[in-house]
């Protein structure tokens, strides 16, 4: 089938050149350097983070590039190849609620680093990216992560030198996104943008913030991940997210636990479901079934990964999707069509990722099968009258770094 859109990851040199050339056009000077950070997909462990669970994301080879030069006068000026016009503010005026627009993702990081004690005195930045934004692939954290390592280096702060420091940078990015950009976010996206290692998935435990690198050598096992950006963005996603979160909190309260993770750890799953039913809250059973099931699937997937049996992990992805669709009810026709078409074309497993109601899905495929899977998904979308999807091929990549 022709007309399939593959969004290729730029080689680092190409991304660096684009960002540096854009910087020179915008600011009539050379940047001090160019830094980049990746978008991400969550392989498994969906809607468990706010229940104290573990998730297993990986960094995409698709990165956001930031050419940056420090200033001493407290001014922040940002331009982006993806957005018209210049975003500008005085850093002294940046505080929760005082600024708006896309530049808050960059200026917010400067604000958070200053709060932590770094001597950020302003900067000019030019941004260019091959991470599609608003597709649930975390373009926001990619932007924050690249700005964070850039400012860390030009101020001589030095946090990017080890994982403990990168954990601090990730926390600053979360603060920036929550308080300055005004978007609620957990910590998964920023942890991946800063702490991921090539060839590994990052097992993140939301109960204590611990992160573990789990070798995820897709290429060596003859496998690949195809990301399907459905290009669907349904309204009310935020309201539905809030409702699911509230349901989980109510269930935990009724069960007398701090989070549903405690039920998963004790294995008292059936007893918990019976308690909810006896309390007249049958409505809470399906969401709790999803959360507990997803925690178990994430553990099982991680075990298979450690045993080098990734080719046996496909059914867990499919089970995750069915649970998100039927128990948690956060899927949508486009995501369901993408998953079914990918499986029909021979993918080992597939599922929606992210909050739901649009965004992206992933398919685990044998190397060489990606084209056939994309063809099948595109044909299914055309048949259903959906807008054409876009595709990305992904191997687990590394976190933020300097590229020029
Ligand atoms: P996601 O992180 O899933 O892509 P978000 O809504 O969290 O979606 O973040 C997208 C926002 O981040 C954009 O609306 C924009 O404000 C900002 N952003 C991300 N990438 C860029 C970029 N390359 N240039 C300018 N702004 C960007
Ligand atoms: Mg985001």
Tell me the pLDDT of the chain (404 aa) as tens digits.
Answer: 568 999 999 999 999 999 999 999 999 999 999 999 999 999 999 999 999 999 999 999 999 999 999 999 999 999 999 999 999 999 999 999 999 999 999 999 999 999 999 999 999 999 999 999 889 999 999 999 999 999 999 999 999 999 999 999 999 999 999 999 999 888 999 999 999 999 999 999 999 999 999 999 998 999 999 999 999 998 888 889 999 999 999 999 999 999 999 999 999 999 999 999 999 999 999 999 999 999 999 999 999 999 999 989 999 999 999 999 999 999 999 999 999 999 999 999 999 999 999 999 999 999 999 999 999 999 999 999 999 999 999 999 999 999 99
Which stretches of 71-138 are assigned E, i.e. beta strand? 75-80, 83-90, 123-129
pLDDT of residue 238: 82
Q: Give SS3 for 287.
A: helix
Is the beta carbon of 80 within 6 A of some atom in ligand 1? Answer: yes
CB 343 within 8 A of CB 317: no
**Which residues in 342-356 are b (16+ Cβ under 10 Å) and which e?**
bbebebbbbbbbbbb
> Mutate which of 127, 139, 357 to test ligand 1's pocket (most atoms within 8 Å of Cβ)?
139
134 C-alpha vs ligand 1 centroid, how far in Å? 6
Strand-pair category, 75-80 with 123-129: parallel
Which of 152, 189, 229, 299 is the catalytic position?
A: 189
The pair of structure tokens assigned to 359 is 């965004």
User: Using CA atoms, how far apart are residues 347 and 30, in angstroms rounded to an integer?
Assistant: 46
pLDDT of residue 235: 82
The pair of structure tokens assigned to 111 is 């604000």
Is the beta carbon of 155 within 6 A of some atom in ligand 1? Answer: no
Instruction: State in Å, rounded, how far the first CA of the chain is from the last one.
Output: 38
User: Using CA atoms, how far apart are residues 139 and 44, in angstroms rounded to an integer?
Assistant: 19
Is the beta carbon of 104 within 6 A of some atom in ligand 1? Answer: no
349 C-alpha vs ligand 1 centroid, how far in Å? 28
- Which ligand 1 atom minimizes the distance to the CA of 183? 7
pLDDT of residue 133: 85
- Does 189 participate in catalysis according to the annotation? yes
∠ Cα 210 261 301 (to 5°): 70
Any idea what DSSP says for residue 364? Answer: E
Ligand number with the minimum distance to the CA of 65? 1
The residue contributing the CA closest to ligand 1 atom 20 is 139
pLDDT of residue 2: 60
For 298-359, give the DSSP string.
HHHHHHHHHTT-GGG-HHHHHHHHHHHHHTS----HHHHHHHHHHHHTT-SEEEE-SSSSEE
- Which ligand 1 atom minimizes the distance to the CA of 138? 2
pLDDT of residue 329: 97
255 C-alpha vs ligand 2 centroid, how far in Å? 32
CA–centroid distance for 157 within its chain: 26
């Amino acid at each position: 089938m022709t007309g399939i859109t593959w969004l290729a990851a730029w080689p680092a040199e190409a991304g660096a050149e684009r960002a540096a050339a854009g910087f020179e056009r915008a600011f009539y000077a050379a940047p001090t350097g160019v830094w980049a950070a990746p978008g991400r997909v969550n392989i498994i462990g969906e809607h468990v983070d706010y229940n104290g669970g573990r998730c297993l994301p990986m960094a995409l080879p698709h990165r956001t590039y930031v050419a940056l030069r420090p200033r001493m006068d407290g001014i922040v000026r940002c331009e982006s190849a993806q957005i018209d016009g210049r975003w500008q503010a005085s850093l002294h005026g940046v505080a929760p609620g005082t600024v708006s627009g896309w530049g808050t993702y960059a200026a917010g990081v400067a604000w958070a680093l200053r709060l932590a004690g770094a001597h950020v005195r302003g900067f000019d930045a030019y941004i260019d990216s091959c991470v599609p934004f608003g597709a649930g692939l975390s373009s926001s954290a990619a932007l924050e992560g690249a700005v964070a390592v850039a400012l860390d280096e030009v101020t001589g702060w030095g946090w990017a030198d080890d994982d403990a420091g990168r954990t601090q940078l990730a926390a600053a990015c979360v603060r920036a996104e929550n308080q300055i950009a005004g978007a609620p976010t957990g910590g998964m996206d920023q942890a991946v943008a800063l702490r991921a290692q090539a060839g590994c998935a990052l097992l993140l435990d939301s109960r204590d913030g611990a992160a573990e690198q789990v070798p995820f050598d897709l290429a060596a096992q003859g496998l690949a991940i195809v990301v399907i950006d459905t290009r669907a963005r349904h309204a009310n996603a935020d309201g539905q997210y809030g409702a699911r979160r509230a349901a989980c909190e109510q269930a935990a309260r009724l069960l007398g636990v701090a989070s549903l993770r405690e039920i998963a750890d004790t294995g008292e799953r059936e007893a918990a479901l019976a308690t909810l039913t006896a309390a007249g809250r049958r409505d809470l059973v399906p969401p709790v079934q999803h959360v507990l099931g997803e925690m178990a699937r994430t553990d099982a997937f991680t075990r298979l990964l450690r045993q080098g049996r990734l080719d046996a992990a496909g059914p867990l992805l499919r089970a995750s999707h069915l649970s998100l669709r039927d128990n948690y009810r956060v899927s949508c026709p486009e995501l369901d069509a993408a998953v079914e078409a990918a499986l029909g074309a021979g993918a080992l497993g597939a599922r929606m990722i992210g909050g739901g109601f649009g965004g992206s899905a992933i398919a685990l495929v044998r190397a060489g099968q990606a084209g056939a899977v994309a063809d099948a998904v595109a044909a299914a979308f055309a048949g259903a009258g959906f807008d054409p999807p876009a595709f990305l091929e992904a191997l687990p990549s590394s976190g933020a770094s300097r590229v020029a």
